Structure 1
Amino acid sequence: MLNSLRNIVQEVNAARDLQSALNIIVARIKAAMQTQVCSVYLRNGQHQYVLMATDGLNPKAVGKVSLKVQEGLVGRVVSREEPLNLEHAETHPSYQYFPETGEERFSSFLGVPIIHHREVLGVLVVQQVERRRFDEGDEAFLVTLSAQLAGVIAHAEATGVVVAVAQGKGEAKFVGTSGCAGVAIGEAVVISPPADLNSVPYQVVSDIEGETAFFYRCLGAVRDDIRRMGDELKSRLSKEEQALFDAYLAMLDDASLGGEVIERIHQGVCAPYAWAEVILEHERNFSSMNDAYLRDRAADVRDLGRRVLSYLQESAQMCRVYPDDTILVGEELTASMLGEVPAEKLVGLVSVEGSRNSHVAILARAMDIPTVMGAIDLPYTKLDQRKLIVDGYNGIVFADPSKPLKAQYKAIFKEEQALQKDLETLKDKPCETTDGHRLSLWVNTGLMADVMRSLERGAEGVGLYRTEVPFLLRDRFPGEAEQTKIYREQLAAFAPKSVTMRTLDVGGDKALPYFPINEANPFLGWRGLRVTLDHPEIFLVQVRAMLKASEGLDNLRIMLPMVTNIPELEAANALILRAFNEVMEEGHRVVFPPVGVMVEVPALVYQAREFAARADFLSVGSNDLTQYLLAVDRNNARVADLYQSLHPAVLRALILIVEGAHAEQVDVSICGEMAGDPGAAVLLMAMGFDVLSMSATSLPKVKSVLRAISKVQAEALLDEVLKLNTAEDIEAALNDRLQTMGIKRLYRPNV
């Protein structure tokens, strides 16, 4: 059965469209289970379940038979969201007869739901004439297959919608999560990792001869590479091993893979996509073979495929033109991908993977680029050069939007610009509540581009400077002199305002290409201070650079990430003192900076007072603290809805931290993304946080809300929401109360 499962899923993945996939499903399941009927029903736009494919019932009934939820046996499977296994189907009270199907002959019935993201997409049904209950093995097989096919069917449906849009049949809508608020209207540029056969964007070409010549040039370059490698290794390989290079050259022949690609190019498909399609088909064919030797050849096909694709992509990349309204789309966007697009042309981002708290989303907010994350059903490879609307408020992407929808979003965009102008008037005004409570608003930075934007928007200091950014942008560790120069620019730009520099925070979802950390569970592994304490040579160089950069400015604060226990803090303090003494011995005159602890690990919530007694300040990293408290990977789109910064447990933990810090007369700030949410900022102020640190983009919005409320009102609101049991209830209560006060918390249009 395992082989059957694998082969069915592979065939379905290779299908060109949804209907082909469904036809494969019913034929293969019928054969594998040796039944007389297999059918699949899928949900349509009216929440009815339509017979979409069958092998065994009357094929003329396809597309004509539909059932509502709870209607018939299929409707019962939908409403109960579990399998229905009947020996004598026609005696069941929910049985409904459809004469056009010809199913009256079949007594035994087994139906299982196809569930994707808690929604029933459809129902898989097998039937047979003989009156018998399908056994547990049959049921288990169909349930397992249904679970594996659910995502494939959802993706095929989404791809079908995009194809339909291309044929002028309306607009397509895809839902993810908000990464950065705002609206972008522009043209999709699909970007994929180098030599990734599964993520090559679909593009049409009109110059068939030019594309064919381009393909042959790349093929020739790979042939030359293979011959050269064969010659270089000739003396070290046996004749059998040398034969592999001959096999590669044979596969590239016009009569083999090359010929198949040329056929597709002549149909108007670009060379990289045509090549990837052909290679993936051959790889699947080899992988499904019973012979072990032939099965292993799939790896050879894949290797060859990547070699040619890298040439095709490199050449295409050199010719890539970014439109003035570029919306970058990819499976998993990275900071380096953003850097490839001229800043003035990048208007929006869409990432299939990741969530609101992924680092690319945090970077997007710093750059104020409307972003949608976690659009996991988005058939992104089909969107290149298509018109898109990115609704960063609601986490929605529209492909080929209609004129009325475009007009609606253009109006929202104009309203945004007007609102931003109004907020600019707050730049020089203090963040002070209506009853005189003063709160400091600082910014999170990482790039020099953040500095000007932060100062323009009235930042009173830097609550988090991400020192890992210069490390991420290099192909080696930056030296002490390099780091000193970078840090000096940040400190000088904000002087005399404080700049809080976090020591190197890598690991988890932040990997240095030249210092890879491969772990099964990276978020609970070697990251943050754990790495730099194990490598004091890295830590000492960085701290020495920070101290030298602060000479004469004296506005440096050092913050330690991912601290778990007091001995770690003591070890880090000892190294900082050592670095300070070394710098002083070299003749520099620097002031010993305040050293603080980032509260990210839940253990610190319950030792906040003990840490406050040994540190100069505490700063909550709400992104990781929320992740660890709720056991939710903040980069995983599949559990994004469980990542809730307003969860009651998170709010109570934050209160404990403030109480612990203030018991030792130590200031406490919060530098996670929660601080940039205007509504959450009201609750944080009420808890007693001394500083809120956020992206420069969020600062004016937060300031406008806090200036419109009194501290007494905020404290009453906090007392009210702490009595609630769910994040959803807290969110609703917060919005309702602020709206009642005439305060607009969410700059979110109703679409």
Structure 2
Amino acid sequence: MLETLRHIVQEVNAASGLEQALRIIVHRVRDAMGTQVCSVYMRDPGSDRFIFRATEGLNQDQIGLAGLAPGEGLVGTVAEREEPLNLENAPSHPAFRFFPDIGEEPFHAFLGVPIIHQRQVLGVLVVQQAERRRFDEGEEAFLVTMSAQLAAVIAHARVTGAFDLDDKSDAVGARVSGVPGAPGIAIGNAVVVSPDADLYAVPRKEIEDRRAELHAFRTALARVREDIQKVADNLGGELSAEDRALFDVYLGILDDSKLGREVVSLIKAGQWAQGALSEVMIQHIRHFERMEHSYLRERAVDVKDLGTRMLAYLQAADKEIKVFPEQTILVGEELTASSLGEIPRDRLAGLISVRGSGNSHVAILARAMGVPTVMGAVDLPYTRLEGRQVVVDGYNGTVHLNPRPEVLARFEEVLDTDRALSRDLESLRDLPCETLDGHRLPLYVNTGLMADVARSLEQGAEGVGLYRTEVPFLLRERFPSEEEQRQIYRNQLEAFAPRPVTMRTLDIGGDKALPYFPIDEDNPFLGWRGIRVTLDHPEIFLAQVRAMIKANAGLNNLSIMLPMICNVSELDEALQLIHRSHEEILQEGVDASPPRIGVMVEVPSAVYQAQGLARRVDFLSVGSNDLTQYLLAVDRNNARVADLYHAMHPAVLHALNTVAQAARSEGKQVSICGELAGEPEGAVLLLAMGYDVLSMNATSLPKVKNALRNIHRAEARELLAEVLVMERAEDIHACVVGFLADHGLQRFIHTPME
């Protein structure tokens, strides 16, 4: 069974689009189970009906015509109940519905299982047989397993199919989920960035000068052939006859007229040389990978190597200057900061990265630049997006491909509202964040780059609540020296002086690994990260703290914050090292004041020890992103479980309230620097809890300020008392949204758009 499953999944993975994938499924599943009929019904997003999309054994003329609503017929019943239906005599079931033209009259046995991906029923997989019998447990288990295995593949093929010209049923309206990287809405045309010599990352592109592309391909082919022959000649005297035969295999593949003819045919049809080469080579690689004989399977490596070599020559010869449209949406498998630098800033509208998280360097840079970004869009068929219209929803972490006119109109309306809102809020820059009943609540910004400074000050930031010191470390190929760090920190402190700046000590690990200090762990978020790393390497910690304290000389606006503290022993050890660093600096003759020291509350244990931690430091600062993640056991950068990550979960709100009370009981300041602080819904509740400072990205600051200036603190406290007894995050969010709407603040709220 496992071998059969593997082969079917491999074949479906190699399919060029949804229709081919479905044809492979019905053919291979019918053969594997020895049944007379196998069919697939797919949910149509527009009508919400389950359409007859592929079959082996029934009337193929009805494909795309017959369909059922959820709960209608046996297929609709399987979809509605989201569980298998195994019947000995299908026509006798009360939900059975007869289609006169589909050709299922002779068949009685029926087994249908739902195809479910990320909680959504994509379709129903059905097998049928003429004889009256129930399919046995093994057959049912096989079909359920097959459905589960194929769900993600079908989901990806379905999105990919949105760009197949011969597949009209899914021509528009595809939606891909990722994770928010930077807030905002962007509408534009995709420009795909592909890494060097990666056959699987070459974007599709149509060209006009086919003769030039043909010449480029033949030149690359000849140069690779020369390379292989040269290597074979140079090593000829040192290799055995068996080893020399390997080069003969390589040259044989290059001389294969079929391979070259296929590439030439695609180029003549309008595909650029790189895309044509990629398509043909991947087909041949997958063909060899499916071979039964191990020797033949290993030839896939040879084909891939040759294809990669040819692609490298094509890329090197491609002297085309890339043209960026006015509203460029930059798309790639894993975007980097350097790729952003190639685009004129006035043309960069949005970013989409298949890999990466909200904490990736490119996401941090995007937030600083105010560029809407979606990360971790794992189902995105990015190589097919070149030149296509896309919508980036950085608020909800979704990408809309070839959006339907009504969807596009709604996003254009949101974008216009955002722009108008930004203009309206410009007048707030120099006004204090003060409630209607006179309570002041300073708003700080989260930064990590000097690029953040101007934008933060333009938005009226009153200080820095979180300076991510790991960002300068990420930009280097080695640890920065103490003096290099001092200069970086001095620039940041001077830029905001006399406003306070809170610098977090090096926070690496989790999804933030330094290229020159890799941390490879099975469970990195629960592993060696934050203060655990720097206490194990005091030489790194001491150099950083010394650099911070020296940078603060004469300015006195520095606070140092310690990440990932989970017990008082870690804090005591870190405090001892900080005090030692200060004493050493004084002995060197540097007149530097001792910095304020705080703890970042971001693990559950710190919540329950908050009072003891507050007793030892000057302030507490909640990192609500990680705290929410740890409390809910949800990786917020994983698109599969992103729906479970909810910053207004009752457990999260009670934890935040507990920390605020603990800090107040010790007479210490408490702040928060997670995403919750940057949304009006969260800011209202944090105001009521008694947080002294809210820190957020610069883009969010004006709307939070405006919201808080239009409410009374007393009203916010009444709201908090109401939501703290609620048991569902959805109810809490709805209640807070209703509160803001009652105060005329509904335009500051961004809700998911389907």
Instruction: Provide the C-alpha distance between the structure 2 equivalents of 1:261 and 1:515, rounded to a whole number of angstroms.
Output: 43
Question: Secondary structure in 2 aligned to 1:416?
Answer: helix
Equivalent position SS for 2:51:
strand
TM-score (norm 2): 0.93
Cα 1:587–1:305 change in 2 (3 A) is: farther
The separation in 2 between residues aligned to 1:169 and 1:704, in whole angstroms, is: 42
Q: Corresponding residue for 2:273?
A: 271
CA contact 2:550–2:592 (8 Å) conserved in 1: yes
Change (3 A) 1:750 1:598: closer
Alignment correspondent of 1:660: 662
Aligned-residue offset at 1:243: 3.9
Instruction: Find the residue that maps to 2:446 and give its secondary structure.
Output: strand
Deviations 1:143-196 (A, max 9, x none): 111112122222222222233599899743425365444332322112244444
Q: Which amino acid aligns with 2:489?
A: Y
Provide the residue aligned with 2:738 in structure 1: 736
TM-score, normalised by the number of residues in structure 1: 0.93
Q: Number of matched residues?
A: 751
- The C-alpha deviation readout for 1:213-248, integer Å capped at 9, x for no partner, is 223444455455556666777777655345434433
Mapped to 2, the partners of 1:157 and 1:287 lie a distance apart of 24
Call closer, same or farther: CA 1:357–1:542 in 2, change over 3 Å.
Answer: closer
Distance 1:589 1:356, change over 3 A: closer
Q: What residue is the counterpart of 1:692 in the other structure? A: 694
Shift of 1:731: 0.8
- Structure 1's unaligned 5+ residue stretches are none
| Shift of residue 355, structure 1, vs aligned partner | 6.3
User: How far does the alpha carbon of each residue in 1:689-739 deviate from its partner, in whole angstroms, 9 at most, with x for none?
Assistant: 111111111111111111111111111111111111111111110010111
Equivalent in the alignment of 2:8? 8
Deviation at 1:271, TM superposition (A): 2.4
1:469-488, aligned counterparts within 5 Å? 469-488=471-490
Is contact 2:19-2:167 (8 Å) kept? Answer: no
What does residue 91 of structure 2 align with? 90
Q: Which residue of 2 aligns with 1:371?
A: 373
CA 1:22 to 1:168, structure 2 compared with 1: closer, same or farther past 3 Å? Answer: closer
Which of 485-494 and 543-552 deviates more?
Answer: 543-552
Q: Which of these residues, 511, 514, 517, is aligned with residue 513 of structure 2?
A: 511
Residue 370 (structure 1) shift: 2.1
Q: Do the aligned partners of 2:158 and 2:170 also contact (CA within 8 Å) in 1?
A: no
Q: Which moved more, 1:575-584 or 1:601-610?
A: 575-584
Report the counterpart of residue 134 of structure 2 in structure 1.
Answer: 133
Aligned to 2:548: 546
Matched residues in 2 for 1:217 and 1:512: separation?
Answer: 40
Between the aligned partners of 1:553 and 1:317, the Cα distance in structure 2 is 51
**Cα offset, 1:492, TM superposition:** 0.6
AA matched with 1:252? L
Q: Greater CA deviation, 674-683 or 531-540? A: 531-540
- 2:51 is matched with 50
Q: CA deviation at 1:399?
A: 3.9
Give 1:183-262 correspondences, 5 Å limit: 183-223=185-225, 226=228, 238-253=240-255, 255=257, 257-262=259-264
Shift of 1:651: 0.5
Instruction: Supply the distance in 1 between the matched residues of 2:597 and 2:721 (Cα, whole angstroms).
Output: 33
Corresponding residue number in structure 1 for 2:36: 36
Q: Answer yes or no: is 1:669 the counterpart of 2:691.
A: no
Q: What is residue 161 of structure 2 aligned with on the other side?
A: 160
Q: Aligned partners of 1:122 and 1:36: how far apart in 2?
A: 20
Structure 1 equivalent of residue 609 of structure 2: 607
Cα distance between partner residues in 1 of 2:289 and 2:624: 45
Q: Secondary structure at the match of 1:589?
A: coil
Q: What is residue 620 of structure 1 aligned with on the other side?
A: 622
The 5-angstrom pairing of residues 457-496 of structure 1 reads 457-496=459-498
Give CA deviations for 1:256-289 in whole Å, capped at 9, x if unaligned.
Answer: 6444323322222222322222232222222222
Residue in structure 2 matched with residue 146 of structure 1 by the alignment: 147
What is the distance in 1 between the residues matched to 2:659 and 2:246?
63
CA distance in 1, matches of 2:469, 2:748: 31
Question: 1:423-438 alignment to 2 at 5 Å?
Answer: 423-438=425-440
Tell me what 2:70 maps to.
69
Q: Are 1:568 and 2:603 counterparts?
A: no
- 1:26 has 2:26 as partner: yes
Tell me the amino acid that sits aligned with residue 5 of structure 2: L
| Structure 2 residue ranges without an equivalent (≥5) | none
Aligned counterparts of 1:215 and 1:317: Cα–Cα separation in 2: 14
Q: Amino acid of the residue matched to residue 9 of structure 2? A: V
Give the equivalent residue in structure 2 for 1:290. Answer: 292
Q: Contact 1:43/1:49 (CA < 8 Å) preserved in 2?
A: yes
When residues 214 and 569 of structure 1 are mapped into structure 2, their CA distance, relative to the original with a 3 A threshold, is farther
Aligned to 1:589: 591
Correspondent of 1:300 among 299, 302, 306: 302
1:99, CA displacement in angstroms?
A: 2.9
CA gap 1:731/1:389 in 2 versus in 1, 3 angstroms:
same
What amino acid sits opposite 2:128 in the alignment?
A: Q
Provide the C-alpha distance between the structure 2 equivalents of 1:28 and 1:454, rounded to a whole number of angstroms: 58
1:489 is aligned with what amino acid?
N
SS at structure 2 position matched to 1:656: helix
In 1, Cα distance between equivalents of 2:590 and 2:236: 60
Aligned CA RMSD, in angstroms, stands at 2.7
CA distance in 2, matches of 1:233, 1:566: 64
Identity of aligned residues (%): 60
Residue 95 of structure 1 aligns with an amino acid whose one-letter code is F
Tell me, yes or no, if structure 1 residue 172 matches structure 2 residue 173: yes
Report the AA paired with residue 145 of structure 1. M
Q: Measured at CA, do residues 713 and 551 of structure 1 come closer, stay the same or move farther in structure 2, by a change above 3 Å?
A: same
* Further displaced range: 144-153 or 258-267: 258-267
Rounded to whole Å, the distance in 1 between the matches of 2:235 and 2:314 is 26
Pair 1:124 & 2:134 matched? no
Assess, with a 3 A threshold, how the Cα gap between structure 1 residues 61 and 186 changes in structure 2: closer, same or farther.
Answer: closer
CA gap 1:411/1:69 in 2 versus in 1, 3 angstroms: closer
Comparing 434-443 with 212-221, greater Cα deviation is found at 212-221
Is the contact made by 2:359 and 2:512 (CA closer than 8 Å) also made in structure 1?
no
Name the aligned partner's letter for residue 552 of structure 2: S
Asked if the contact 1:81–1:120 (Cα under 8 Å) also holds between the matched residues in 2, the reply is yes
Q: For residue 449 of structure 1, report the CA deviation from its aligned partner.
A: 1.0
Quick check: 2:437–2:713 contact (8 Å CA) kept in 1?
yes
- Comparing 245-254 with 599-608, greater Cα deviation is found at 245-254
Structure 2 CA distance for partners of 1:165 and 1:99, relative to 1, 3 Å: closer
Decide which moves more: 721-730 or 128-137: 128-137
Q: For 2:647 and 2:554, locate their aligned partners in 1 and report how far apart those are by CA, in whole Å.
A: 40
Would the aligned equivalents of 2:192 and 2:332 in 1 still touch at CA under 8 Å?
yes
Query: Partners in 2 of 1:401 and 1:209 — Cα distance?
Result: 35
Range that drifts further, 617-626 or 166-175: 166-175
2:634 corresponding residue in structure 1? 632
Partners of 2:216 and 2:192 in 1: CA distance:
20
- Structure 1 residues 219-228 or 342-351, which shifts more? 219-228
Listed one character per residue, the Cα deviations across residues 525-567 of structure 1 (whole Å, up to 9, x for unaligned) are: 1111212222222222222221221121121111111122222
- The answer to whether the 8 A contact 1:548-1:590 is kept is yes
Contact 1:434 1:707 (8 Å CA) reproduced: yes
Once the two structures are TM-superposed, the CA of residue 570 in structure 1 deviates from its matched residue by 2.1
8 Å CA contact 2:204–2:383 kept in 1: the answer is: yes
Deviations 1:501-537 (A, max 9, x none): 1111111111222222211111111111212222222
Deviations 1:573-600 (A, max 9, x none): 2222333233333332211211211111
Counterpart CA distance in 1 for 2:230 and 2:543 is: 44
Instruction: Please report how far the alpha carbon of residue 465 of structure 1 lies from its aligned counterpart in structure 2 after TM superposition.
Output: 0.7
Q: 1:362–1:650: structure 2 CA closer, same or farther, 3 Å change rule?
A: farther
Mapped to 1, the partners of 2:61 and 2:80 lie a distance apart of 27
> How far apart, in 2, do the equivalents of 1:686 and 1:60 lie?
64
**Shift in Å, 1:624:** 0.8
**1:381 Cα deviation after fit:** 1.9
Change (3 A) 1:173 1:157: closer
